[in-house]
Amino acid sequence: MIRKLLLVALAAVVTTLIAVGLAPAVKADIVAEPVVYTINEQPFEGYFAINEGFGDSQPVVLLVHDWDGLGDYEKRRAQMLAEQGYATFAVDLYGQGVRPTNADESRAQSGMLYADRDTLRSRLMAGLAQAQAQPSIDGSRVVAIGYCFGGAAVLEMARAGMDVDGFVSFHGSFDTPEGQDYSQTSGRILVLHGSDDGAAPMADVAQLASELDAAEVDFDMEIYGGVDHAFTVWSDADRYDAMADRRSWRALITFLDETLS
């Protein structure tokens, strides 16, 4: 009897996790593999995940990594999105084999792209083209999402007027370089952010909202009270916030459903 009750309780937990998107829904047809491509003769290694059970012409998510480069975290998020029926291409902005191992290396790699926006944009454009070249997808239905540095990168895509349906920033940064604005942005924007984010404080969030309003961009923001930077990164025990992670994931799935349907 005790064993039966435990099994029932476990089934209830799994059902709840599936409902909020933090556990696999249907995994039988997931195909995930590295994708090597070149930009100006330099090799880059992205990662593509798709649930073949959803058939052809699937909408696409372009996923941009944090400042650590494309790693296991982004690959798992790509698989989670594929489980929901969103074919996902995790782009590589640093280059094949360039994977920082400490904060100094991460700062150096991301800093080079922050300082060279033309290169950042060209690598994002190449990643988008590679995503749209994957099999069994509908390249006309795309949303770009990013974490931390990747959140800043997708806003760079928005300011560049890249032709995608939406942009989602998870605990990103919001500085707009001199000479840039959101006047060319055509897709929707969703910002998911913690109110206690020291890397991008609420004053920066308010400034971003003002810029988006001025450009008449369709946008939404969800602010999680008392939540720090990198709140979705489960390997960061000091900053990870399970509740904010679940809420932001649900917000993402709702955004994708509304934007790519």
Q: What is the pLDDT along the chain (261 residues), one digit of tens a residue?
A: 433 333 334 344 343 344 445 544 444 599 999 999 999 999 999 999 999 999 999 999 999 999 999 999 999 999 999 999 999 999 999 999 999 999 999 999 999 999 999 999 999 999 999 999 999 999 999 999 999 999 999 999 999 999 999 999 999 999 999 999 999 999 999 999 999 999 999 999 999 999 999 999 999 999 999 999 999 999 999 999 999 999 999 999 999 999 998
Whether 195 maps to a domain, the answer reads yes
Residue 217 confidence (pLDDT):
98
Whether 7 maps to a domain, the answer reads no
Q: Supply 165's token pair.
A: 């349906």
Contact (CB, 8 A) for 221 and 233? no
Whether 14 maps to a domain, the answer reads no
| C-alpha–C-alpha distance, residues 246 and 20, integer Å | 6
Whether 1 maps to a domain, the answer reads no
Q: State the total domains in the chain.
A: 1
Give φ, ψ of 189 to 5 degrees: -125, 135
Q: Which of 59, 110, 119, 109 is nearest to 89 (CA)?
A: 59
Whether 53 maps to a domain, the answer reads yes
Whether 2 maps to a domain, the answer reads no
| C-alpha–C-alpha distance, residues 75 and 67, integer Å | 15
Please return the burial class of 25, using the count of CB atoms within 10 Å of its CB with bins 0-12, 13-18 and 19+. Answer: middle
Give the containing element (helix H, strand E) for 244. Answer: helix 242-260
Residue 69 to residues 44, 77, 171, 215, Cα–Cα distance (Å) = 11, 14, 16, 31
Residue 24 confidence (pLDDT):
47
Give the residue numbers spanning the domain of 157.
28-260
Residue 261 confidence (pLDDT):
87
Which residues make Cβ contacts (< 8 Å) with residue 109, sequence separation at least 6?
67, 69, 94, 98, 100
User: Quick check: helix, strand or coil at residue 147?
Assistant: strand
Q: Domain of 63: which CATH number?
A: 3.40.50.1820
Whether 152 maps to a domain, the answer reads yes
Whether 12 maps to a domain, the answer reads no
